[in-house]
Structure 1
Amino acid sequence: MTSSPPVETPGIVIGNHTQKYTAKNPAIRWLTARWVTRLEQMLDRVAADPGAAGTSHALEVGCGEGVIANHLASRWSRVTALDLPDAGLRDQWRQRPGPHYLHADAHRLPFEDNRFDVVVAAEVLEHLPDPERGLAEIARVGAGHLVLSVPREPIFRSCNLLAGRYVRDLGNTPGHLNHWSTRSFVRFVSTVAEVRAVSKPFPWTVVWATLRTRP
């Protein structure tokens, strides 16, 4: 009998609870593809921004299986991507070479200040026990641009309920600890950066923001 590998980060949902990139449900795959397209369009805008001239180093916080990190690697010459310890993620990372992958906690990023030209956190902040600290860490290690994405609430939970998913938890996806509408998420991001653009691919919110100059 084959035994399961030991859990390296107990009590925390690692990666995607639903395999949205390869889901059997065509609606989930279509919505995910649309979200990825909008995210890529936002990344293209960042890469083309005059203020981003010469940027070369991107970071993805909470990279999951490495899908978005691969998209970053097509735009920036150096990409670092991190997530919590998990053997399954490491298997996925080996299938997506290019970015430099490592294990780390979003609440305590192991980098010096102002290290990265672009910092991306796609579907991460909703999972953090302390999202304010996570956002502050993202801003601390960033030196220019942020691209952040979260589920758009209460729409995201409503869609789960309509599909009969997580009914006992009122449609809340396991591991989602924080919930933002588009307006409240923009306010949240605005505490550390100037919001440049907002996209709302159903049922998500994607924000591009520029970090304010530090004194």
Structure 2
Amino acid sequence: MPVAPVFDDAIADDPSYAEFTGKYERPGRIGGWLVDRFFAAGRRLLAPHLHAGVQILEVGCGAGHSTRRIAGWADGATLVASDIGASLVRSARLRNPGVGVLRQSVYSLAHPDRCFDAVVMLEVLEHLEQPQQALAELRRVCRGHVLLSVPREPLWRALNMARGKYWSAFGNTPGHIQHWSTPGLVAEVSNHFRVVAQATPVPWTLLLLAPRR
């Protein structure tokens, strides 16, 4: 039986979610620059494998801000997005009227085996109680490549503390229950994927992965 995800519909009312969406809606000059660099790095990693007709799945799309970015990565691609929260799915649909947005858990994706050329999951794995189960499900539905990102530790927490955030939690963002350095993330995914390429735009780790068969 799939393990219940950490995310549910209540996340939309959580203060940490307001901060998460704030980096898209109210990023400021430095924050906007960092987010732009993050998505540019992700696009560079995945672009060689995108072309007209590819099938892309975004897992954990949230309110659809990242979905809008991914939708511009390949002309003629078909993009499907998903999240576990009903209110997030509604927001993502409004923000992305040309994208099919589904409500589903990362632990139990309602898609056949090997049906997507690319699977994108950005800033989700650090929130999950069962990351290995999620990675196994990404591998199952992917026939091409997975683009995965997490906050890069301990840099992420250090930067939070430098800006006066979450001192009582030693800089840990609320909801982050997993923490990986870049080598740690490579080790975490190794049972299910091999690393094709990686990028480290501050303060994230991005991996382009190919499924192990």
Normalising by structure 2, we get a TM-score of 0.85
Among candidates 34, 56, 59, match of residue 57 of structure 2: 59
Give 2:156's aligned residue.
156
Flag structure 1 segments of 5+ consecutive residues without an equivalent. Answer: 1-7, 49-53
- Could you tell me how far apart the structure 2 residues matched to 1:105 and 1:41 are? 28
Which residue identity does 1:179 align to in structure 2?
H
Flag structure 2 segments of 5+ consecutive residues without an equivalent. Answer: 1-7
Give 1:122's aligned residue.
122
- Could you tell me how far apart the structure 2 residues matched to 1:55 and 1:16 are? 35
**Bigger Rg, which one:** 1
- Could you tell me how far apart the structure 2 residues matched to 1:16 and 1:194 are? 34
- Could you tell me how far apart the structure 2 residues matched to 1:24 and 1:35 are? 13
More displaced stretch, 87-96 vs 189-198: 87-96
The alignment partner of 1:117 has SS state of strand
Deviation at 1:22, TM superposition (A): 2.3
More displaced stretch, 21-30 vs 125-134: 21-30
Alpha-carbon RMSD across the aligned residues, in angstroms, is 2.2
| Cα shift readout 1:79-100 (whole Å, capped 9, x = no counterpart) | 1100112325513431222221
Larger fraction in helix: 2
The alignment partner of 1:195 has SS state of strand
- Relative to structure 1, the CA distance from residue 15 to residue 96 in structure 2 (aligned partners, 3 Å threshold; closer, same or farther) is farther
Q: Superposition pairs for residues 1-215 of structure 1, below 5 Å?
A: 9-10=9-10, 17-18=19-20, 19-47=22-50, 56-74=54-72, 75=74, 77-212=77-212, 214=213
- Could you tell me how far apart the structure 2 residues matched to 1:11 and 1:135 are? 22
In 1, are the aligned partners of 2:89 and 2:102 still within 8 Å (CA)? no
Deviation at 1:72, TM superposition (A): 3.2
Identity %: 36
Normalising by structure 1, we get a TM-score of 0.85
The alignment partner of 2:50 has SS state of helix
* Aligned length in residues: 201
- Relative to structure 1, the CA distance from residue 104 to residue 159 in structure 2 (aligned partners, 3 Å threshold; closer, same or farther) is same
- Relative to structure 1, the CA distance from residue 157 to residue 84 in structure 2 (aligned partners, 3 Å threshold; closer, same or farther) is same
The alignment partner of 2:143 has SS state of strand
The alignment partner of 2:208 has SS state of strand
